[in-house]
Homo-oligomer: A and B are copies of this chain.
Amino acid sequence: MKLYTSTRAPNPRRVDIFLAEKGIEVPKVEINLNNLEQKKPEFIERNPAMRVPVLELDDGTCISESIAICRYFEEIQPDPPLFGVDTLDRALVEMWQRRIELNLMLPVAMVFRHLHPGAAVLEQPQVAEWGEANRTRVIEAIEMLDRQLADRPFVTGDRFTVADISALVGIDFMRPSKFGVPENCANVLRWHSEVSARPSAKA
């Protein structure tokens, strides 16, 4: 088993944190995104969508998409459960995980990719107006998360889940775009300092 990945990119970090929470180690192969290694023929064979991470199994089968990789590990090693513990809980974890991806992670990525000069190699054309429009959406998503975290320690309740991982990675990826959690979102700030203190956050 081998994980094709890229240090410091947000989606690979989701898998890193997930594996650290499970206590699983997988050998890594670094893909240099700035050199566009993800667009070279040998990588495209592993993932035609040209993105990291990709998990290559011993028989050569490749699984891409961070959450597909996480679900694969959830099945082969269920403990600790990070996708929920029963039918309803699993539905609510999936709901929050997707809500955070669509309303927080994706807009944070749009701000970075369309406004950061260093992202020009990844995103063409860069559309500044679209990048700016997403700043507002990021803040609205954090405000939604703040209301959710008012009366629970983690995003979906008493347990740390993959929804917390996506929210942590999304919020930390605001840093290269030089914005962060608004000061009035005290619940998110409390939660962020707690999940950042977990050993997995440094994985």
Contacts and interface: CB of A to CB of B under 8 A. Distances in A.
B94 A65 contact: yes
Among A127, A147, A148, max chain B CB count under 10 A is at A127
Interface string A90-117: 1110110011001100000000000000
Contacts of A65: 94-95, 98-99
Contacts of A102: 49
Please tell me how many copies of the chain the complex holds: 2
Chain A residues touching B, majority SS = helix
Contact of A68 (B72, B76, B91, B130): B91
Contacts of A183: none
A148 B48 CA distance: 10
Nearest to A143: B48
What interface size band does chain A fall in?
A: 20 to 34
A48 B144 contact: yes
Interface of A: 48-49, 57, 61, 63-65, 67-69, 71-72, 75-76, 87-88, 90-92, 94-95, 98-99, 102-103, 125, 127, 129-130, 133, 144, 147-148
